[in-house]
Structure 1
């Protein structure tokens, strides 16, 4: 039954009915949640619908189920490139290329990532914060992705601290990934069938290797290292200009 639904989903995809394809793949996944192919194919349909965060999540699940499934790395790389997450995309594409070195698509996309990364490095300006700039410790509440847990954040010139008020969650139940401008949090809640997800596209870019998190008895605390010393107007990406810290100018 699951394979039949997946076959219908592929037909819908070929007919450019991507919403129907996602719906059918979702039904197939409900019947066979351990099939990496279904997740990778749903990721492709989500890319077409510009559901990019969902596409990355599907690709990650496909990779988890089958680390040798090359198209899962291709889907992740494609979605991350559309999110302008070029380093994350490159990492995924390079992994896929190592599994399938004869696949030319990987090299083409990796070259494009290298070009974009090079362009970003040329235009990236790192403002120097004045010693007089004080940390902005004003808490700003933002609506949780799902009603299970509330989350808040505050920021300093060099980092953003996100707190998820999840009490009594075992450390092994928390999975957090950092992208260039994406935070992905998945918490398997004891006694709940559905996991908690928080996957915003962030207001500004971060440095993934410098980010960290800690699972405490009453909360999960996540520290995001800013790529630029700017004030985030919100936690999530929006068409609101960033604010550079004002230098201390003597009058």
Structure 2
């Protein structure tokens, strides 16, 4: 099998959550093709998730070396710097991690996950150790100075994507996260989109030779890569991420997020029950009469507020029907005797002393 075929199988194993199988296949890929940058990035990601941070750093450095060469791209270079920064952060080398994140900021200002990592660094980096932010380079050559290896200048020599500052928005339902990247007139074959369990990598080769990239890593929650998809439209790229857990509301697109059930959220958004008030109502109900006592109470309440005809109708109907009928209509019951009408299934009997 060729390196590319092995890489495809490695990605399939990765998507299926079989990281051990993916790692074994990626080892075979780099053995066949030592300059396979994507394989190092993928292997580094697995090492990062498995907390093998030294190995993740080594893979990031190798990817950085390759992406800094003649065949490198700004997108690969940005991803390699991001992965190196993440590995350094986990190894508690915060100052160095910050420097890599600043390079990513220069290469890809639209990298959304970068804000999360920069915030993490700022939170843990002592003030005296915080590096001076790297100035925005006037030319791509400045990237090489920030990164040190001379070949970086060759990879960064691609034209800066003038005007390619595409905004993106996202929304969700119970099963999908939808991301819309607003960028016009993109050809489908110019789009390279990778779906992973906790990340998304979008790269677009623009008509003027520049690159646009969007890296969402880490996503707030896991997705199902094989059930995710995208469409290239005339004014935007529509990306649909299949949620691994249906019914879970994402509070954010990237970073650490709590798991919140959509139905629970909807319930909580309604007016909360006043349990003290309910308890008072129960206590009040407990004092209310029941059965014949309740009927007599109702009779008294109606009788006390009624006019004379209503009172006569009530008394006549109740007495003549032996308590089986209660009428307030005197014109109906005043002209004739009210018959006894026992409830269905019961028989009226005379009371004998």
Please give the TM-score of this superposition, normalised by the length of structure 1. 0.45
Give the alignment's TM-score, normalised by structure 2: 0.33
Higher percent of residues as helix: 2
Q: Which has more radius of gyration?
A: 2
